[in-house]
Amino acid sequence: MLKFAQPQLDEDTIQAVAAVLRSNWIATGPNVTELERALSESFGARPTRVLTSATGAMEIALQVCGIGAGDEVITSAQTFFSAMNMIVKVGATPVFVDCDLHTRAIDLAQVEAAITPRTRAIMPTHFPGALGDLDALYALAKRHQLRVIEDAALVQGSYWKDLPVGGFGDIAVFSFHPNKNMTTIEGGAIVVASEDEAKLVDLLRFHGIKRLPDDTRDVAIAAGKFNMSDVSAVIGVHQLKQLPRFLAQRATLVERYFEKFPPVPGVVLPPQGVPRQSWNMFNVLIPYEQFGLTRQSFRAALQAQGVGTGMSYEACHLTTVGRGYGYTDGQFPNGERIARETVTLPLHAAMTLDDVDHVCAVVAQVLKR
């Protein structure tokens, strides 16, 4: 069975985990410090903290920006649920806009049109294969004095011009879930705009605790708990060293997908040929009805032949939470079409070119039936 996503953990990593477990220092410790140092280096020395997930990082990002009740945050209707959920969780209102059909990048004209006096931030999601126009995004944010919280969960290792995502801009969050470009089991990172903001993250990720000169503790902010364990962090340290190899293998596999994917009418493939993009997923849009299929039957047919698939993503504005803000079907045609037609084909660093050939052959066969 070929899984659509899978982590790659080598023997060195497993030994390193065992060493941390034997050390008895298994909660936040020296490996967290080392992972933060190494990640920060990869993001042009910007202030970086690791956390228990990208979702937690988004909640903290919104809190760092002082966003709460009465505020609006503009985000894409077509992304994972975390942005919407965390905007709601901090007491703000999610304002949805559509995205580009091919890059899935947030539609900046619609962002501009959605800005009100209550708008405080834009939360775009970056997708594999191509970023949106980040110069235009940041120019727009600057014109309207808005914060930007980039959901970079899927694009660790992607570049905008000469700079890595996370290596410039305002706030970026990354995910180290096992399906992502590197993993810490569960985990995430936040890159913030200043050292003062990083200090605020330190409070927000650990009970709001501040140490006083007499060694007692004050609670400066009523905060939650999002600190990463050293067991997870040591996995991250080892994964980060292997990330270039993982990304190179993913890029090679994607090249093969573009070469071998059957020429099916109506199919939309991901953006091809943009330099220095990382490839977390290979998402394809398929007009299932044209082939007498539904997405469910298509996925089941692939599954029956040993090909696992994923689905990224449903449309946020059409979830129960989204509809609760008055959104309805038909408002965001691109995001909704992606939600209806998207399927995520297997892509991870442990795959071979033969695996891609097999997936493409199975897809061709299923669509021919």
Ligand X SMILES: Cc1ncc(COP(=O)(O)O)c(C=O)c1O
> How far is residue 248's CA from residue 254's CA, in Å, rounded to a whole number?
10
Does position 199 bind ligand X by CB under 6 A? no
CA gyration radius, the chain: 21
Neighbour-count burial of 78, counting CB atoms closer than 10 A to its CB (0-12 exposed, 13-18 middle, 19+ buried): buried
Instruction: Using CB under 6 A, pick the residue from 13, 48, 119, 175 that binds ligand X.
Output: 175
Instruction: Using CB under 6 A, pick the residue from 50, 95, 154, 204 that binds ligand X.
Output: 154
> How far is residue 174's CA from residue 58's CA, in Å, rounded to a whole number?
9
Least Å distance between CB 127 and ligand X?
A: 8
Does position 60 bind ligand X by CB under 6 A? no
Instruction: Using CB under 6 A, pick the residue from 13, 42, 48, 55 that binds ligand X.
Output: 55
Least Å distance between CB 188 and ligand X?
A: 4
Does position 177 bind ligand X by CB under 6 A? yes
Instruction: Using CB under 6 A, pick the residue from 47, 128, 166, 188 that binds ligand X.
Output: 188
Which residue is catalytic, options 89, 142, 161, 180? 180
Q: Which two tokens stand for residue 89?
A: 């969780």
Does position 151 bind ligand X by CB under 6 A? yes
Interactions with ligand X, residue window 111-150 (CB under 6 A): 125
> How far is residue 200's CA from residue 54's CA, in Å, rounded to a whole number?
17
Which stretch of DSSP H or E encloses residue 34? helix 30-42
Based on CB atoms, which residue is closest to ligand X, 183 or 367?
183
Does position 232 bind ligand X by CB under 6 A? no
Based on CB atoms, which residue is closest to ligand X, 65 or 367?
65
> How far is residue 253's CA from residue 175's CA, in Å, rounded to a whole number?
22
DSSP state of 81: T
> How far is residue 112's CA from residue 137's CA, in Å, rounded to a whole number?
10
Least Å distance between CB 122 and ligand X?
A: 15
The residue length of the chain stands at: 369
Instruction: Using CB under 6 A, pick the residue from 17, 39, 54, 254 that binds ligand X.
Output: 54
Least Å distance between CB 58 and ligand X?
A: 7
Least Å distance between CB 347 and ligand X?
A: 14
Based on CB atoms, which residue is closest to ligand X, 335 or 358?
335
> How far is residue 150's CA from residue 148's CA, in Å, rounded to a whole number?
6
Q: Which two tokens stand for residue 134?
A: 């980040």
Least Å distance between CB 4 and ligand X?
A: 12
* Contact indicator for 168, 150 with CB cutoff of 8 Å: no
> How far is residue 297's CA from residue 47's CA, in Å, rounded to a whole number?
46
Per the annotation, the verdict on 161 as an active-site residue is: no
Interactions with ligand X, residue window 287-346 (CB under 6 A): none
Does position 236 bind ligand X by CB under 6 A? no
> How far is residue 364's CA from residue 369's CA, in Å, rounded to a whole number?
9
Give catalytic residues, as residue numbers.
Answer: 180
Residues in contact with ligand X by the rule CB under 6 A = 53-55, 79-80, 82, 125, 151, 153-154, 175, 177, 188
